[in-house]
Amino acid sequence: MSNEIAPQNSTEADITIDTVEQEDSAALKAQLKAEYKELAIQGLWKNNPGLVQLLGLCPLLAVTSTVTNALGLGLATMLVLICSNVTVSAIRHWVPKEIRIPIFVLIIAAFVTCVQLLMNAFTYGIYQSLGIFLPLIVTNCAIIGRAEAYASKNPIKQSAFDGLMMGLGFAIILILLGVIREILGQGTLFDGANLLLGDWASVLRIEVMQLDSQFLLAILPPGAFIAMGILIALKNAIDSYIKSKEVIDTEQVIERVRVNFDS
Amino acid sequence: MAFWIASSPHNHNHTKTPNLMRLVIYATLPGVLAQWYFFGWGNLIHIGLAMTTAIICEFTVLSLRKKPISHELFDGSAFLTALLIGICLPALAPWWVTVIGTMFAIVIGKQLYGGLGHNPFNPAMAGYVMLLVSFPLQMTLWQPPLTLVAVDLNFTNTLTTILTGFTAEGYSVEQVRTSIDGITMATPLDTLKTNTGLGLTVLESIKSPVFGENLALGWEWVNAGFLLGGLFLIARKAIAWQTPISFLLSLFICSFIGYSISPDSSASTMFHWFSGATMLGAFFILTDPVTGATSNKGRIVVGLLAGLLVYLIRTAGGYPDGVAFAVLLCNMSAPLIDQYTRPRTYGHQKGDK
């Protein structure tokens, strides 16, 4: 369950910050800054919930047929992730270890219900087009994963920031997939943005190219899988490119003598 | 010094990939010529388009992957894939259908998996199925045989239809496909499916002009051409005989059972053999050495399975022909079939691992 890739080095930092002396406070601030930076890098790139952890694939692949849908679900997930991280972190001292998972799930479910009711009230169109995938945020492993791996062990501020960065990383992947699939499938961008952002947003709709007929593969789930695979490949290619730039070849070549049939 | 000890096989036939691919390409000639004779220039134009696209895609991907370009570009497999896509497509489909299908087949169907020899699915069929799923309207633009078309479909007319959707005289694709009495003509398989759905019996539907005198006007000769080419390939030992034979046998048995039970709603066995893509699938697509089963017993099982699937999709499925889908499903199950039909190693007992 726990995927503890996130750093754990700054527990209880905000509680002790007032009591320490002046010299230590500067060092602690630097440490906090490094922690925030690390959290941002982890959430957006190194440990991106969409690209690296591959969590929450079901909504990721199902609702990204347009940018608007992707944006709606991305924002909803981000909101739930931040709120649940804050709550889990706030009550972390009083939660018995044995029943922490049900408690986390209850907290997440409560926030998802709030978000769902809010979207039902204010953005009814997008609420309808997201359908079952909005309540299904409850089962998004990215959220419970962060609650378990980070928020339950770290102070509120860091947890909130972690939620923001993880949610942002997830939302960016959703939107990227939405852009690819909407352009390939319908030749448009931000089609139906007025459903999410209000009537003024209908001017956002861009006709990228005129298609005689929809490219159904991009709109149907297989297109999502293919686009997702290409995104992951791209990320890995960039990573290995950076790595190959960084590595300075200092290893010594060890000569070995092999004995086989040829020799 | 030590003796060089090589494992079996000890006698090789020194056929290289380009030679084999060239042989298969030559073997499609009778079928392609029959297609040209009965249906005009459409498929030849599509084959040309597909080959150009394939070579460009292959070159781009190979240079991106930093592979030996001249070696792999001309191994003929890309040409064969393009040829098969061009043969399969409806003759009057717009040009971009071919281009997108070939790009998908080469880039995603073949190269992304690691190139020739690593692809789990037959690239041509993967591209074709992608088109069938993505552009259902364009993929039904089948052209009736030339003898039934009122418009003179010469080379220029066909070319302008593929490029713009209208013939040089300004007839639209729909007008070309409409017979004198104002009914859009489809393929025999399509007509049979629609008519059976409407409650007509087979005997009533085969009065439609697309069926011609015998089984399926034009299509029977195209299939006969591919049968001839396939027999040539078997004679040259380029393909194994097990797959096509068991496939045709399985399709025969299935359609025979169907015909015996209800002759009014099922087509005859020979109609199933000589219409649609049966012979092309049997000899040129199912026998793909990369994606098919490798053991002899496995090949027989794959053929039987494919025949059953084609019959089921044709009679009970949503699409009029099912060879492409059947091939992909068989490609998927081929590794499993290979696992269970592993031949006994010489000197080992049966069941001994």
Cα dihedral sign for B160, B161, B166, B170? positive
Q: Where are the domains of chain A?
A: 55-246
**CA distance from start to end of chain A:** 52
Domain shared by B160 and B305, yes or no: no
Q: Is the residue at B351 inside a domain? A: no
What's the structural domain count of chain B?
2
Buried b (16+ CB within 10 A) or exposed e, B34-45: bbbebbbbbbbb
Q: Is any Cβ of chain B less than 8 angstroms from the Cβ of A226? A: yes
What pLDDT does A4 receive? 45
Domain shared by B149 and B47, yes or no: yes
Interface test with A, best of B7, B134, B140, B166 (most A CBs within 10 A): B134
Q: Do A226 and B108 touch (CB under 8 A)?
A: yes
Structure tokens given for A68: 């608007």
Q: Do B5 and A261 touch (CB under 8 A)?
A: yes
Q: In terms of residue numbers, what domain contains B309?
A: 186-214+239-340
Domain shared by B202 and B117, yes or no: no
Tell me the average pLDDT of chain A. 83
Q: Is the residue at B221 inside a domain? A: no
> Quick one: average pLDDT of B189-203?
79
Q: Is any Cβ of chain A less than 8 angstroms from the Cβ of B6? A: no
Domain shared by B149 and B60, yes or no: yes
CB of B111 closer than 8 Å to CB of B100: no
Q: Do A261 and B2 touch (CB under 8 A)?
A: yes
Domain shared by B168 and B195, yes or no: no
Closest Cβ–Cβ partner in A213, A217, A261 for B130: A217
Position A17 pLDDT exceeds 60: no
Position A39 pLDDT exceeds 50: yes
How far B56 CA lies from chain A's nearest CA (Å)?
A: 20
Q: How confident is the model at residue A6 (pLDDT cuts 50, 70, 90)?
A: very low
Contacts B133 to A, Cβ<8 Å: 216-217, 220, 222
Q: Is the residue at B304 inside a domain? A: yes
What pLDDT does B277 receive? 87
User: What ipTM goes with this model?
Assistant: 0.78
Q: How confident is the model at residue A251 (pLDDT cuts 50, 70, 90)?
A: low
Q: Taking CA atoms, what residue in A is nearest to B3?
A: A261
What pLDDT does B227 receive? 94
Q: Is the residue at B12 inside a domain? A: no
What pLDDT does A64 receive? 87
What pLDDT does A20 receive? 52
Contacts A261 to B, Cβ<8 Å: 2, 4-5
The answer for B 207-226 residues in CB contact with A (under 8 A) is: none
The answer for B 90-109 residues in CB contact with A (under 8 A) is: 100, 108
Q: Is any Cβ of chain A less than 8 angstroms from the Cβ of B137? A: yes
CB of B46 closer than 8 Å to CB of B162: yes
Q: Is the residue at B220 inside a domain? A: no
Give per-residue pLDDT as tens, B130-185: 999 898 888 888 888 887 777 777 888 888 888 888 887 778 877 777 766 666 67
What pLDDT does B58 receive? 92
Q: Is the residue at B169 inside a domain? A: yes
Domain shared by B176 and B194, yes or no: no
Domain shared by B163 and B303, yes or no: no
Q: Is the residue at B110 inside a domain? A: yes
How far A198 CA lies from chain B's nearest CA (Å)?
A: 32
Position A9 pLDDT exceeds 50: no
Closest Cβ–Cβ partner in A215, A217, A261 for B4: A261
Domain shared by B26 and B137, yes or no: yes
Q: Is the residue at B109 inside a domain? A: yes
CB of A156 closer than 8 Å to CB of A89: yes
What pLDDT does B328 receive? 94
How far B82 CA lies from chain A's nearest CA (Å)?
A: 20
Buried b (16+ CB within 10 A) or exposed e, A140-178: bbbbbbbbbbbbbbbbbebbbbbbbbbbbbbbbbbbbbb
Domain shared by B149 and B207, yes or no: no
A50 versus B353: which is more confidently predicted? A50
> Of the residues B162, B183, B204, which one is the last residue of a structural domain?
B183
Tell me the CA distances in angstroms from A118 to A112, A115, A194, one per residue in order. 10, 5, 17
| CA angle, A232 then A63 then A77, to 5° | 80
Give per-residue pLDDT as tens, B312-325: 998 888 888 889 99
Domain shared by B30 and B57, yes or no: yes
Q: Taking CA atoms, what residue in B is nearest to A185?
A: B134
